Chains A and B, each alone.
Chain A
Amino acid sequence: MTDMRTPLKKVRGLGSAHEGTDHFWRQRLTAIANVPLTLFFVGLLVSLNGADYAQVRAVLANPFVALILIAMLLSALYHMRLGMQVIIEDYVHGEGGKLVLLMLNTFFTIAVGVASVFALLKLAFGG
């Protein structure tokens, strides 16, 4: 039977996952943000090579550095959560195991993010 649906009707369901190109778009958006943000982080680590406790704390407490690093963490963690979701969906076919791993993926990402951002805020606000 010929498909009588209009292109608009087809796109309204947003595909089998009902999320359209959202995953793809966010993955690309964070990928582009990650390039300058992680390069800044790598540059910062290179400049801090051999620095002692007090020096590292002073640099991380700098508002500009802290804000860029928080932005990097949010963008990179969101990006890697999307990536790990695809890996899980590709290789884990049992529904139960897949759901558990997808949950752990989100928990891991949030745990790393919350701990790292808290550490940076503590330093920034004079911890």
Chain B
Amino acid sequence: MSKIPATQARPLSPHLTIYKPPITMTTSILHRITGGALYFGTLLVAWWLIAAATTESHFNFVNWIFGSWIGRLVLFGYTWALMLHMLGGIRHLIWDTGAGLEKHTASKIAWATVVGSVVLTLAIWIVGYMVRGA
């Protein structure tokens, strides 16, 4: 019986180190992360509503925070998280009907939610700046 040398490379099953994550996996993870971000982001919504219901100085302070560059960055990210989670959710509703589950179709829809979320976020902010400028 001939012994196979231990140095010879043995075939390996695919696992995480050589696994290229498919887009559906990435959007699945992003769906959960954006959901978590939106969860804690409701504090910003509550803060804004409470500020509007209290004093003018409090409201102006919140407006100043939200209007600062870091505030705008957070709100821009929050808009994108909301759009991606919304489109991802609609994708799940489509899947619930049993449609769109074929591998290549699912990948295309996943890319569509990513591209769609960026387009919608930019559109919202462009219109927002137009409103401010008007």
B131 near A60 (CB under 8 angstroms)?
A: no
B35 near A80 (CB under 8 angstroms)?
A: yes
Contacts of A47 in B (CB 8 A): 131
- What is the interface of chain A mostly: helix, strand, loop, or mixed? helix
B53 close to A (CB within 8 Å): yes
The verdict on A120 contacting B49 (CB below 8 Å), with A28-B93, A49-B128, A56-B59 known, is yes
Total number of A residues with any Cβ neighbor in B under 8 Å: 33
CB-CB contacts below 8 Å: B24-60 with A = 32, 35-36, 38-39, 42-43, 45-46, 49-50, 52-53, 56, 59-60
The verdict on A28 contacting B35 (CB below 8 Å), with A49-B132, A56-B59 known, is no
Assuming A80-B39, A116-B42, what are 9 further A-B pairs, CB within 8 angstroms? Answer: A28-B93, A28-B96, A34-B86, A38-B82, A77-B42, A80-B35, A83-B39, A84-B36, A116-B49
